[in-house]
Structure formats: C-alpha cells, structure tokens
C-alpha cells in the first residue's frame, strides 16, 4: 500500500546490501569488510570520547577529522568533505553535481548503488557496457555528458583503470564533474587524489569501511577543489547538519593518523589476496586481476549460484549477483590467511561433488 508515498518514490527499487547474518557464525567474505580489527588507537579514541560529552552535538564541520584527512592526503581542509560512510557521500555528490535532463554515465557493471541514486533523484543516466574482458571502453566516456562516475578499482570486478585513462576522461569532460569512487584504491591501485589540484572537475570519494577496518562506524569522505566541496556541504547542510556522531569523528581521526597500522593491515590483505589467487587458479578458477580487497572469480564447471550455495552450506558467505554478464561470477572478499584457506578448501570440496 503506497497510498501516501510521494509520486517520485513509488517505482524506486532500493539498493540491497550484503547479508549481515545474525543467527550463525560464518566466514564472512560477502561485504568486503576488513578481516582485521580497527587500530587499537581507534578503540582508545572512542573510549576517551564516550562520556558526558555525548550530551552535546558533534562539530557539524568535522574540523579535526577534516584536518587529519587533509594532512594525510596533502590537501587543505576546505578540499575535504566528511559524511556518514561513502554511500551517503556519493548520494550527496550525485545531488550536488548532477542536473536532471543531463545524462550521467557510468559502466553497466559497477557499484550497483549508482543507478539507485539516479533513480532516487530523478537524474538521467546511461550505463555504458564494459568490454567483454570487463575493461572500461575509455573512448565512450569522453565528453557530451552531464557527469561521469567511475569506481576505481571497479566493483565487483576488481579491475583498475590506469591514471592516464582517468586523465583522458577528465580532459575530455571539462564542464562536468568526474566522480572517482576509490573505496578500494588502498589495496594497490594508483589514486587520482594527486590530480585534484590540477582538475577543478574531479571529485574522489573514499571510505574508512575497507582499508581502515571501520565499516561499523560509517565514515566516508570526498576530496576535490574547494568550490566542489562547498557544493556538497550546501546539500549536506540542507539535509542533516551532523551526519557523523562524536564517536565516529574521534574514531576517524585516530584511524587516519595511525599510518603504521594501516600500512601493515593492507599489506597483509594484499599478500593474502595474491596467495589466494594462485590457489584458486590451481583449482581451475578464472580470476580477474584485482587491486581491491576482493576477487571476482568464475569456474567452468559450476554456476555462480551453485558455488555460492555450496560455500554457504560449508559456512562461507560470498556475494553472487544475479545479473546479466556476471551471473557465473562470485565476488569474494579477502579475509585472513586462515579464512581464505577454509574458503579454498570448501571450493575444492564443492568441485569434487
């Protein structure tokens, strides 16, 4: 019964997040979470902030967190916007930069939240098909658009677009915003952040959910020229003044300042990923190149759904997308060495059957 719903939401199909199981303990490789806990300094910062001060509103400008992020990336605080996870940041950017009637473009196989934002906000868009090998047809992203959105490394394929191609797209679209979603860039991709002072039309979106082990704290941010960041702020301040609570602000600042812990855990994940790829190839899997904390795999002998169900039966959750072109694939997040050994053993067991 949608009697009281606004006309513009009656046909919306929301995004479906990966399962968060409540009843049973799984090896959880389905939502690209980090297998390592947050830095001990993050926990200490939260404990320090968890007191009487919670009766007061947070800093609506996230001043200290933005300064820490600016320091880390070699930018100015006015080039940093912080929001409630990179999903909220992306949503606010879509609203801030894209105008109805002007077509936003992104690949057909990419983060499935992008078409949801465009539907929610009544934006026109076109999904440009990736090449057969899931590489991006760069020529089709050059000009004539209302905006460009690129996830790099791409999800769920894990493939990376070289910075030279990002440059080509930026050069060819000087009048519209090019949004580069780098949720997974810390796992081996070259970041476009270095191009921010060169391109006034570039926005890079990052998250602390993956490489900072803080999916549970909802911290995302956008980087770009100060005029662009002012636009996102304008939307955010017309919607919710304080999207980050006091504990998230404290946690985010501690996380970004603990460079040593970050470097160590992301190195572990990259090493585990590379070892897992070798093992899966031995089992006959075809594995996409990955610069992310997940891999995208397929096997000639089993369908994606069979593999997903077989893994679930053996206590391992992975993500399968029931979508054209990728329905024989699984997206598998990188856990600990032990997690991945169990995952590979379960695959071996399924393939015997």
Residues in 203-232 that interact with its own copies by CB under 8 A: 209, 213-218, 227-228, 231
Torsion of Cα atoms, 110 then 128 then 122 then 19, to 10°: -20
Nearer to its own copies, 8 or 271 (CB): 8
Give the total of residues touching its own copies (CB under 8 A). 86
Identify which of 263, 257, 283, 301 has the alpha carbon closest to the alpha carbon of residue 340.
283
Q: Nearer Cβ to its own copies, position 130 or 202?
A: 202
Output the smallest distance, CB 151 to its own copies, in A.
Answer: 17
Q: Which is nearer to its own copies, 38 or 347 (CB)?
A: 38
End-to-end C-alpha distance for the chain, whole angstroms: 46
Interface stretch with its own copies, choices 55-63, 136-144, 271-279, 283-291 (CB under 8 A): 55-63
Please identify which residue in the block is written with the tokens 């760069």: 138
CB of 226 to its own copies, least distance (A): 9
Q: Using an 8 Å Cβ cutoff, are 201 and 178 in contact?
A: yes
Structure tokens at 312: 């679930």
DSSP state, 79?
Answer: G
Distance CA 89, CA 161 (A): 22
Site string for its own copies, 147-186 (x = CB under 8 A): -----------------------------xx---------
Please name the residues in contact with 304: beta carbons below 8 A apart, sequence gap of 6 or more. 298, 320, 321, 326, 327, 328, 329, 330
Site for its own copies in 61-100 (CB under 8 A): 63, 84-85, 87-88, 91, 95-100
Question: Are 307 and 29 in contact, with CB atoms under 8 Å apart?
Answer: no
- The least CB distance from residue 60 to its own copies, in Å, is 5
Beta carbon nearer to its own copies, 31 or 290: 31
3-state helix, strand, coil in the chain (%, to 5): 40, 15, 40
Nearest to 11 by CA among 103, 116, 112: 116
Site for its own copies in 183-202 (CB under 8 A): 200-201
- With respect to its own copies, which residue has the nearer C-beta, 27 or 347? 27
Window 5-44: residues binding its own copies (CB under 8 A)? 5-9, 12, 14-18, 20, 22, 28, 31, 33-38, 42-43
**Residue in the block written with tokens 């169990």:** 342
Is 321 one of the binding residues for its own copies (CB under 8 A)? Answer: no
Q: Which is nearer to its own copies, 120 or 351 (CB)?
A: 120
List beta partners, residue 202: 178
Q: What values do phi and psi take at 180, rounded to 5?
A: -110, 115
Nearer to its own copies, 97 or 329 (CB): 97
- Footprint of its own copies on residues 99-138 (CB under 8 A)? 99-100, 116-117, 119-120
Q: Which is nearer to its own copies, 227 or 313 (CB)?
A: 227
Residues 231-260 that bind its own copies (CB under 8 A): 231, 233-235, 237-248, 251
Of the pair 169, 280, the CB lying nearest its own copies is at: 169
HSE (CB half, 13 Å, CA atoms) of 187?
A: 37
Least CB distance to its own copies at residue 174 (A):
10
Q: Where are the alpha helices (DSSP H) in 4-155?
A: 40-49, 63-73, 85-97, 114-120
Residue pair 154/258 in contact by the 8 Å Cβ criterion: no
């Amino acid at each position: 019964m949608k009697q009281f719903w606004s006309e513009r939401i009656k046909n919306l199909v929301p995004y479906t997040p990966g399962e968060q199981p409540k009843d049973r303990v799984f090896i959880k490789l389905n939502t690209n979470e980090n297998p390592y806990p947050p830095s001990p300094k993050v926990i200490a910062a939260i404990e320090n902030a968890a007191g009487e001060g919670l009766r007061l509103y947070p800093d609506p400008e996230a001043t200290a967190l933005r300064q820490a992020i600016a320091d880390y990336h070699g930018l100015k605080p006015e080039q940093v916007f912080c929001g409630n996870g990179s999903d909220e940041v992306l949503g606010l950017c879509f609203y801030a930069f894209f105008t109805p009637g002007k077509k936003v473009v992104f690949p057909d196989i990419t983060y499935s939240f992008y078409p949801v934002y465009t539907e929610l906000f009544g934006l026109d868009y076109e999904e440009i098909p990736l090449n057969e090998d899931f590489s991006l047809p760069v020529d089709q992203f050059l000009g004539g658009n209302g905006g460009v959105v690129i996830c790099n490394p791409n999800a769920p394929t894990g493939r990376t677009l070289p910075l030279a191609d990002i440059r080509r797209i930026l050069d060819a679209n000087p009048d519209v915003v090019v949004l580069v979603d780098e949720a997974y860039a810390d796992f081996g991709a070259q970041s476009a952040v270095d191009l921010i002072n060169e391109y006034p039309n570039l926005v890079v979106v990052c998250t602390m959910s993956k490489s900072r082990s803080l999916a549970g704290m909802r911290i995302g941010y956008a980087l770009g020229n100060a005029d662009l960041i002012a636009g996102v702020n304008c939307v955010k301040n017309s919607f919710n003044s304080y999207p980050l609570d006091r504990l998230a602000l404290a946690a985010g600042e501690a996380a970004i300042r603990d460079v040593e812990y970050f470097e160590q855990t992301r190195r572990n994940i990259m090493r585990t990923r590379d070892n897992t790829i070798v093992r899966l190839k031995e089992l006959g899997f075809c594995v996409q190149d990955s610069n992310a904390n997940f891999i995208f795999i397929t096997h000639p002998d089993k369908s994606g759904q069979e593999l997903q169900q077989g893994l679930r039966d053996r206590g391992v959750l992975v993500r399968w997308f029931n979508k054209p072109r990728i329905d024989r694939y699984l997206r598998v997040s990188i856990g600990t060495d032990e997690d991945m050994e169990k995952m590979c053993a379960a695959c071996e067991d399924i393939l015997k059957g």
